[in-house]
Amino acid sequence: MSDRQTITEADLNAYVDDELEPARRAAVEAHLADSPGDRERVAAWRQQAASLRALYDHVADEAVPTRLSPRRIVAERRQGFRRTATSVAAALALVILGGTGGWIGHGLATPGIAETTLIREAEAAHALYTPEVRHPVEVGREEGVHLSKWLSKRLDRTLVIPDLASEGFSLVGGRLLPAATSAAALLMYENGDGARITLYVVPHSGDETAMRISSTGRLTAVSWQAEALGCVLVGNLPRETLLELAKASYGSLEPGSDI
């Protein structure tokens, strides 16, 4: 049996990661020359890898935080005994004040973490699915009514899919994804030049927030929270353009209610 007949998915992954010996690499390339389907898979994997590198490669260049310095950790452990009395006193103070103080502290810390998590999820979903050629979405735009009803049911919120045609973007379709604490809807749009943006939506219960803009690598995200939905619009476009698209999306989305 020839190498061309025994090319596995592991070989294709290793080829994308440039981890094959020259002879095996040549065998894979010969296989790809006769296998359009596998060529498309390899091209999509490379696009996904490039998108993920653009998102997260900068982390490798960041300096180690001072708080994680081994020397500092040792010094802090040596001071542990001296801190014990202070910690006990603080704990007693919290007991005297009751549980309310602790809950207030929790409320102050959680929103920032939750919003950051939401943005990272939206960026990762954008990087994973926008390069796809054959299967970028689960349900296409031709089934828009079904898509809206299906995602509304899974999010337990009324979700009206924004129409961004006036901004030059048409709906590609959408898909259902798992989020950190709930289901998430991913809506994909495309303009005449082939540029794609995604709108990531999760259920939200709480106050509305203003729109915030952040950038990671080549991607820019505009995030906000409405009365019943948390939203992040992601794309590789100028900030001003994405902000206008986010405003148009906000104006189209229903405030949301349980269904």
Give the per-residue pLDDT at 188: 96
**β-sheet with 229-235: strand ranges across:** 139-140, 169-178, 183-191, 196-203, 229-235, 219-225, 212-216
What residue segments make up the domains of the chain, in order of their start?
A: 3-60, 66-97, 112-252
Q: What is the pTM of this model?
A: 0.58
**In this predicted structure, what is the pLDDT of residue 144?**
87
Class of domain 112-252: alpha beta
Collect the ranges in the chain with pLDDT lower than 50: 1-4, 81, 84-85, 87-89, 91-111, 255-259
